[in-house]
Structure 1
Amino acid sequence: MIDFFEEVNKRKEDIIADIERLCEIPSVLDEATSNDGQPFGKPCREALDLMLSIGERDGFKSVNVDGYAGHIDIGEDEETFGILGHLDVVPCNEHGWNTDPYHVTIKDGKLYGRGVADDKGPLIAGYYAAKIIHELNLPVKMKTRIIFGCNEENGSKCMQYYFTKQPYPKMGFTPDAEFPVVYGEKAGVNFQMKGEIEKDNIIGIYSGSRANIVPETCEAYISGHYKQYKEDFIHYLNQQGLQGSLEEEGNHTRLTLIGKSAHASTPDAGINAAVYMCHYLATISENQLVHFVDDCFYQDNYGKKLGIAFKGLMGDLTVNLGVLNYKDGYASLVVDMRVPHEMTDEQLTMPIVQQLNKYGLEETHELGKALYIDPQSDLVQNLHSAYVEFTGDHIHQPQAIGGGTYAKSMPNCVAFGVEFPGTDNKIHQNNEEISIDDLLKATAIYAKALYNLIKK
């Protein structure tokens, strides 16, 4: 009997070293350096090239698909099993990290750094799982194709392009979520909300850079000397248990409020700085933007105040105000929603439009697709069996989530790991981390599950 965990441990140092190299590259979307061959910017192209070189180093065929994505083929068979991961990462907050986010720190049995859990670490785990099967010369009926893109965090344009150039694998998984196996993902939708709003005493509000992150910081500029707001604002921060500051800016006042970042699919795990700022501003201003945010988002991550609360087989609809910009009387907001597959576009849109009309705002949006794979399918059951074998966990069952992954990019694909039940890898947050033991265990699970599905 093959001891996959022992095989993984033999390669522990190599696994960590490859993760360290990948995480040194700040592969955030960089439109300023976007051009032919690097559509998502220079850092993302550098990460792509490094991953391709890892495959070539190990003697495998690597293919670059116009800088959008690439793959490494392990094996020679015609049929293909796909393992899909992403090389791009979300931006890091300027403050809040205890270590350099782009230099992996090993401490107390954990790796710390941007990408160690989302998704460079898990991608390397999937790669080594397939590599182990190949190096053991085990009999298989399918090759494994490790597929990696550079735009998962901003709409997965990489996979949309990649699959216009390359065929779909027969089946696959993406190590970009949590254990146990994820057979369902809610539809993702970003509402772009815009309009002109009379200033009142609000000069500007700025919060968030990505819709799929709960914004941690919000800055607001208001007319009047800071002394007239100081007592009330500090009292508000203390009352809410939040950090922040206020400073004099010429004849104006700058307010800063610090919340807590989190993934947009789990907004309850964060504290939305934009929403909490507007809740305060609504007490000192008649500005309709801050009242819209306060009325429709404060202490409500489930769309009740917007009139769109919905619970389906995959759980509740969730709402995250990810980006808020207000300057020169013009408001621009981006709201991320994760929508159960039973909800129609009309059910979602009509109540929102009615609310926006009250505040002089307009919207545009595109409802994404949901994912649903039969929980009794061979793919789901084989993956889950490997998870149970290595964890002994019979309590947690195959599940549906709010997060969106590459699993939606191809047929017969699901998300599988890497976060274990009861752990928090701080994905999209400060101090992203992964336990080395969890990483190695996940790699062994992937190897066992993959072999179950592709062995002769």
Structure 2
Amino acid sequence: MRPAARNSAPRARRRAAALLAPALALAACAPPPPPEEAAAVPSARSREVARYAVDAYAEAAIATLADLVAFETVHVPGTVNAEQPPFRAMTEYLRAKALELGLDFDDRGAVVVLGLGDAEERLGIVAHGDVQPADPAKWAADPFRLDTESEPGRLVGRGTEDDKGPLACALYALKALADREVPLARRVELIVAYTEESDWGPIQAVLATWEPPQENVAFDGWYPVVVAEKGWGQVLVSLPLAGPPAGSGPSLASFTGGAFLSQVPEDAVAVVTGATPRLEAALREAAAARQGSGVTFTIERSAGELTIAAHGVAAHSSTPWEGRNAITHLAALLAGFEWPPSAAAGMVRFVDELVGTGDNAERFGDLAYADEFMGPLTLTLATLGEAEGALTAGISFRRPVGRTAAEVEASVEAALAGFRERSGLSALTWETAVYDPYVMRDAPQVPVLLEVFRHYTGQQDAAPIAIGGGTNARLLPNGVTFGPAMPGVPYTGHSEHEFITRDQFALNLEMYTAVLAELAGD
């Protein structure tokens, strides 16, 4: 049986409450208390432990990150992540790492938990061990081998920012607390999920049989502290593939691009058959006119076909403004020409008319709306591919509060039905899924997280934010997100050039350690 904590609320929470409470009138007979370091957040002890973590373990954390990146923990459709060799190997690695660092270990399949301390009250810190796919052809080196040399000051590899870098920092933040023998009023549990990037069902199944801590901080988003996440939505729009149109004139034979739904696509390709020299010249002129858009175009002729390739900039689809969408820009180029009926031609019209090259669903019927705090709905046409006899466009959107899921779905349905009718594309079909936003403004740990961030960055006006991405924080009680991405700095997770700087990695380690000392220390 675990001994009861000596105090029902860690000292940091009491200090933070004092910082936020209105000033009280001074008692007439009581002298003002002398200033004490302990009244600050972070305290002198927390700062010392955090500095120790960086001095003692920054390089060890990078070495651990290299080990973690080497596990190719990418979801394979139709399989269970926790049962696949890369995930099993990662579990055994974390089991051994827990033993090395003096932590206990609990393997629950889709979730593993590494713990420090035996207090009755618990604090959860959350990371994930799965990553998005990476196309080796688009990386300067193997994306599953940490590159510490080719770009000075950067740690390059899949998962360095999302989310194996934060996981490595969390491990050594716990080790620093143990080394410095910080008295813990709370047991700290590092919750590592294995299906954050694919299917949250297995995580929810674990939570149905295991009671999580009552306060949780995910290291899987942005600073200063994320208290709201937009709701995720998906639309799959399909047209049946058919044979080439009759006649020998120019035809749009194919139009494809993108990799996965949570990435702004950086590549798209269209193939034109039967292209005349006049059409080729016109396409080249149109492509040249669009070169200032941030998307580049190449046109190559081979055996009577023109291959038009668009190259943009990949980004997380929750921050589409940081990328340049190759699919939508190629559709805009192709929409300036008349094409005989085909699935590719129909999709060009759909993308150009309903999606466009903007980020906020400006053309998608009345779908666009915004919330003052959470910002606008964003929409990304992320994938376009041929499968099972159809050409299917995959759309990811992120929606704020302000409308119900039913209202949003109705807007999607109305926009698509209207397009189908006026375009004459009667074979157009779609599937829609809409999920709710998440808001957790009053989580008790938020004041401490803000004060730690302000101390280490000097950004005294730092305030809670909302993001477009979704994290496992929303599955847990009082779940909020703290880093690892800095405000105003482009996020590289999900891109084909993912990295974290050495300086940011060390700062994350320092701030995470200070947060744990504050929230869990007695």
User: Considering the TM-score relative to the shorter chain, is it more than 0.5?
Assistant: yes
Does the CA-based 8 Å contact 1:190-1:335 persist in structure 2? Answer: yes
Does the CA-based 8 Å contact 1:386-1:448 persist in structure 2? Answer: yes
1:427–1:258 distance in 2 versus 1, CA, 3 Å: same
How far the C-alpha of 1:250 sits from its partner, in A, is 4.8
C-alpha distance in 2 between matches for 1:79 and 1:212: 36
Q: For 1:73-125, what per-residue CA distance to the aligned partner results, in whole angstroms no more than 9, with x for missing partners?
A: 11122322111111111122344423332221224222111111111001111
2:367 counterpart of 1:314: no
Residue range with higher mean Cα deviation, 87-96 or 181-190: 87-96
What percentage of aligned pairs have identical amino acids? 24
How far the C-alpha of 1:343 sits from its partner, in A, is 1.7
How far the C-alpha of 1:425 sits from its partner, in A, is 4.4
C-alpha distance in 1 between matches for 2:203 and 2:388: 38
Residue range with higher mean Cα deviation, 199-208 or 337-346: 199-208
Q: Using structure 2 for the length normalisation, give the TM-score.
A: 0.81
Does the CA-based 8 Å contact 2:275-2:306 persist in structure 1? Answer: yes
C-alpha distance in 2 between matches for 1:71 and 1:327: 39
C-alpha distance in 1 between matches for 2:92 and 2:300: 45
1:158–1:126 distance in 2 versus 1, CA, 3 Å: farther
One-letter code of the match for 1:334?
G
2:269 is aligned to: 219
1:396 is aligned to: 462
Does the CA-based 8 Å contact 2:225-2:450 persist in structure 1? Answer: yes
How far the C-alpha of 1:374 sits from its partner, in A, is 1.9
Equivalence map 1:4-403=2 (5 Å): 4-31=50-77, 34=79, 37-38=82-83, 41-66=84-109, 68-106=110-148, 107-196=151-240, 201-225=251-275, 227=277, 229-241=279-291, 242-248=295-301, 250=303, 252-284=305-337, 285=339, 287-306=345-364, 307-312=366-371, 313-326=373-386, 330-357=390-417, 358-359=419-420, 360=426, 361-375=428-442, 377-403=443-469
Larger Rg: 2
One-letter code of the match for 2:383?
V
Q: Using structure 1 for the length normalisation, give the TM-score.
A: 0.92
Residue range with higher mean Cα deviation, 42-51 or 10-19: 42-51
RMSD: 2.3
Does the CA-based 8 Å contact 1:82-1:171 persist in structure 2? Answer: yes
C-alpha distance in 2 between matches for 1:288 and 1:333: 11
1:419–1:36 distance in 2 versus 1, CA, 3 Å: closer
Does the CA-based 8 Å contact 2:409-2:434 persist in structure 1? Answer: no
Gaps in structure 2 of 5+ consecutive residues: 1-43, 246-250, 421-425
How far the C-alpha of 1:327 sits from its partner, in A, is 6.4
One-letter code of the match for 1:115?
G
How far the C-alpha of 1:249 sits from its partner, in A, is 5.7
2:507 is aligned to: 441
Does the CA-based 8 Å contact 1:74-1:144 persist in structure 2? Answer: yes
How far the C-alpha of 1:238 sits from its partner, in A, is 2.5
1:324–1:440 distance in 2 versus 1, CA, 3 Å: same
1:422–1:354 distance in 2 versus 1, CA, 3 Å: closer
| Secondary structure, aligned partner of 1:154 | coil
C-alpha distance in 2 between matches for 1:86 and 1:56: 20
One-letter code of the match for 2:382?
G
Greater than 6 Å deviation, 4+ residue runs: none
1:425–1:338 distance in 2 versus 1, CA, 3 Å: closer
| Secondary structure, aligned partner of 2:224 | coil
One-letter code of the match for 2:359?
N
| Secondary structure, aligned partner of 2:98 | helix
C-alpha distance in 1 between matches for 2:80 and 2:214: 32
How far the C-alpha of 1:347 sits from its partner, in A, is 2.5
| Secondary structure, aligned partner of 1:153 | coil
Does the CA-based 8 Å contact 1:353-1:362 persist in structure 2? Answer: no
Does the CA-based 8 Å contact 1:84-1:148 persist in structure 2? Answer: yes
C-alpha distance in 1 between matches for 2:416 and 2:179: 59
C-alpha distance in 1 between matches for 2:508 and 2:219: 9
How far the C-alpha of 1:209 sits from its partner, in A, is 2.5
Does the CA-based 8 Å contact 2:81-2:195 persist in structure 1? Answer: no
1:419–1:327 distance in 2 versus 1, CA, 3 Å: closer
| Secondary structure, aligned partner of 2:487 | coil
C-alpha distance in 2 between matches for 1:110 and 1:404: 26
1:233–1:131 distance in 2 versus 1, CA, 3 Å: farther
| Secondary structure, aligned partner of 1:105 | coil
Does the CA-based 8 Å contact 2:173-2:513 persist in structure 1? Answer: yes
Does the CA-based 8 Å contact 2:53-2:172 persist in structure 1? Answer: no
C-alpha distance in 2 between matches for 1:158 and 1:51: 19
Residue range with higher mean Cα deviation, 396-405 or 354-363: 354-363
One-letter code of the match for 1:288?
G
Does the CA-based 8 Å contact 2:318-2:469 persist in structure 1? Answer: yes
1:182–1:76 distance in 2 versus 1, CA, 3 Å: same
Find 1:417's aligned residue among 471, 478, 483. 483
One-letter code of the match for 2:444?
D
How far the C-alpha of 1:297 sits from its partner, in A, is 1.5
One-letter code of the match for 2:286?
Y
One-letter code of the match for 1:240?
R
C-alpha distance in 1 between matches for 2:465 and 2:234: 24
1:341–1:147 distance in 2 versus 1, CA, 3 Å: same
